[in-house]
Structure formats: C-alpha cells, structure tokens
Structure 1
Amino acid sequence: MAGTLFVVSTPIGNLEDMTQRALRVLSEVDVVAAEDTRRSGVMLDALGIKARLVSCHDHNEDERSGQLVAQILQGQSVALISDAGTPLVSDPGYRLVRACQQAGIEVVPVPGASAVLAALAVAGLPTDRFLFEGFLPSKGGAREEALSKVLAHSTTTVLFEAPHRLLSLLGSMEAAGAGEREITLCRELTKRFETVIRSTVSALRERVAEDADQQKGEVVLVLAGATPGQARDAELEPLARLLLAELPVSRAARVLASVSGRKRQAVYDWLEQLSAGG
C-alpha cells in the first residue's frame, strides 16, 4: 500500500508550541522533507527526533516531488515541514502536495503554529475576514502597484516584510495617504524578543526609525482595512500621480473629477496633499 504525505506545522520560535501529534508523526515517518535541512536538523535534534532529512525548496521542488512521490507509492511515509510555522504559507510545498494528489496519495494536514494567525490574534483588528498578501514585490512598479491594491482593500490585511525594508514600506504607506490607518507590528513572535506594537502607520514609522531594534528579526504587519473613502483614494492614486506629473494641480483635479465623478474641490484638496507628500 502507498504511504502518506503529512504536511506538518512546526514552531515559529518557541519549541513548546510543537504539538504532540506533530512530534509523533515526525518520529514515525520514513522521510522528513524540509526547506532547509540544516535549520530543521537543529530543531529536530532539540526535540529529540532522529529523522532522515531531504531538502525540498523552491529550487529543487519539481525534481524532488517526483522522487518523493515514487517513495510514497512504494509504501514510505513523508512529512513536509518548512523552516518555521505552517508549510506552503509563503513557503515551498504546493508542487509536492499537488503531485501527491495527482498520484492518488493521501495528504494529511498536521496543524499547529502559524505566524499569520498568531499576529491576527493579537492585532486587535477585525478577523471575521482578512486578506493575506505575504511578501510584496521587493521594488519598482510592481511593489507600488501591489501596495496600492493592499491599501484599497476593505478588510484587515496581513503582510510579511523583510526587516531591512520595513521602514521603507511604512514610509510608502504614509506617502500614499494611509498615515492614520491602524496597524500592528508583530516582530519575533513567540521568541525571546517578541514585540507587538499597535499604532498608526505614521506613528509606527517614527518609532521604527528611532529604534533600530525594530528593524531586526521576523516581521508580520496587520493593517486595518480601508474605509470606503480610503479605498477610492487608493484606487485613484496611480492615475492621480500620472496626472500630477504632467499637469498643474488645478487641471489634474478637473480631469480626475470628471473621470471619478467626485467633486472638483475635494479632488483638488486631495491632489494638493499628494503633491506635498511627494
């Protein structure tokens, strides 16, 4: 009989968050497929688990999936883990899961720690609906376009960000008119230097700029959803900036008011704010 693929969540920092079921599964499977075998090896050793580790990451997942599927069809069981938290959430693994499903192999989730859910739990923002965007593009027009869509969304949004880009991201949010939007910075969740800061975008940017420690470690941001007015502004902002690059504020306001159906004076005031903010 074929074996099973277990998709196993591991701690995001604190080893005490490892579930009893995950410990049992990782101890019993024939192979553990890990994003980084060295990092996962250290964690498994600390938990007293002796496992046969193979790598499964973005650069080898297609090839590795075929190998693992063949092993599972021969009766072996495999556990898929990521560097931390729940596999496939901004991590590799979906190709392996899909390959197993296409081969008729049972895929079993073993849930546990998740940075996304941990951040939502302490953010103090609505969680009945939320958008998970993961990491935005790192630079250029793609980053600006993605951020514009995030700021236009009406539900709570969860973002991952590299610590060295955190200050830049907050500055971009502020420049886009979201300075007074509620936001929670969750840094190093479950670890020794865990920090949860609830603030506005502008106030958080100032704090991060003043405290270099807030620009280190694993970062999760939870952003409040846009009000209807904020959503409209975010949707119109790319066009507004194009108009401002070519026309005086008064003429840009006339064109944008005609396109959007909004009152010219309100559009003019908004464009002046955009122009002043750079």
Structure 2
Amino acid sequence: MELIVARNRDDLAKARGGGDVALVPTMGALHEGHRSLIRLARSRADQVVVSVFVNPLQFGPHEDFSRYPRTFEADLDVCRAEGVDVVFHPSAEDMYHPGRQVSLLSGRMGEIVEGASRPGHFDGVLTVVLKLLNLVQPRVAVFGQKDAQQLALIRRMVADLDVPVEIVGAPTVREPDGLALSSRNRYLSADDRQVALALSRALRAGAAERTPAAVRAAAGEVLAAAGPRLDLDYLVLVDPATFTEVGEEHAGEAVLAVAARIGTTRLIDNVTLTLNPA
C-alpha cells in the first residue's frame, strides 16, 4: 500500500479509513528511536498514522523552535521503509484555528521538574496531543519513555478527560555508546558528544544502587566529574506516576531523570529503577 501524506484535517479524515488505528506523534527528524515506536505501533494495530508536526505551543520564547531540525523528505523515507500507512503533516495554521483561545493546563505535575525549566511546555504538549487524538481517533497511541514526564502527563490527561485511547510507552533507544537517541543530538560537536555521555553514565551508576540516597549520590558523582562543560539543570529521583521527589522510605519503582546543557544543546534522559526491594 502506498504511503498517504495528509497535509490537513480533511485529507486526514479521508485517509484514516475505518480500521484499527495506532498513532505515533512526532515532531519529525525521525531516527532509530522513532522507528522503534512505529514498529511497536504496527504490532498493535491494523493501520499506523505518524504525525510530523513541530508544535510551536511547546517551545518557549528563547528555545530552539526556529532551528529545530525539519527533514520531511527523509522522514517520509523512514515511514515508507517502516510500512506506515498515513503521515499527517499539517501546517500550524491548519492545526490551530485563527483566534484560538482554549488550551489545556497541565496542572501542578506540569510545573515541576522539566516543567519548572520550561514553563508552559507541557501545556503545549497536552494541547497538541489531545488535538491529534481527536483528529486521528486511534485505539492506541505510542510515545517514547525517554520523555518520561511527558508520557506520565499524557496518561494523566487521558485518564482525567476520559479519552478512549490506550497509551503505550516504548523503551528508550540508545546509541552503542549509551547516548539516548534524540533529534537534538545532531547539534552536538564531537567534543560535546563526549561530555554528553556523562548523562547515561550517571543514570547507570544510579540504577546500580537501591536506596534513594545512594542513587542520588552515585549519579551526582558522575555528573560532577564531567566538569564545567556540562551545565546541569536537574537530577531528580521521582515517582513515575506523579513526578514528585521520592523520600528515603520509598520502595518500588522510581524514575531517575536528568537534564543538562552541553554547549548550546539541552538534553534529557532517564532510567526507571527499583528502590529498597523486599
């Protein structure tokens, strides 16, 4: 079946068909991590729709919206190779009506950790995701675990607003050296990339421990050793459902999350671990 490119909501409605649909929302610049999402979506539904839309609502005034990589023709090649049925590639004008006034608020959970560093970011994420869910009407939507707080907030939104969709999280895909795949990795110089490897090393060090204090200490030591070229934004150990910091008494799953700027590039990463096992 030939790949269909829907450039507006009317094209999407015609292309969607009436079958069992899985949605993979992306901002394009597709890489092997996106391929893994598409493959998981293909295993869960008859039809796969991939959205390619750089969402202006989730970028702050001094962030990288204008220079965010846009590689649409290459993205189409990836989608063809992975057997995607429909690519939804709307303009901002088609996605957001003129005079739009209503957006979602991500609440307290959207204001902490990543949300504290990027005010309004998750409001924009949830607004566009809900719009995509309404337009595509999938049974399943697939998101990467690398954006763990985003995934948790989308699950919260779907539950709070009774959206009839199953949210599936896919494992983070990494380069052989451990760096989590990201569209922003292309911004890194060779030297910056070596510094950036401290993020995954810190997470591995933390994940080898079993108490909150030991996890934080082990990860923090690795990041400190990376030197001044790594500008740490946060290193947190949080509940995976609420993203609130866990205390020393916490047992069970937790997420160790890190964000840092290396040169002009800001990267995030995380790992899920088990604390104080019985």
Relative to its length, the structure with more helix (as a share) is 1
The normalised TM-score by structure 2 is: 0.33
| Structure 1 length-normalised TM | 0.33
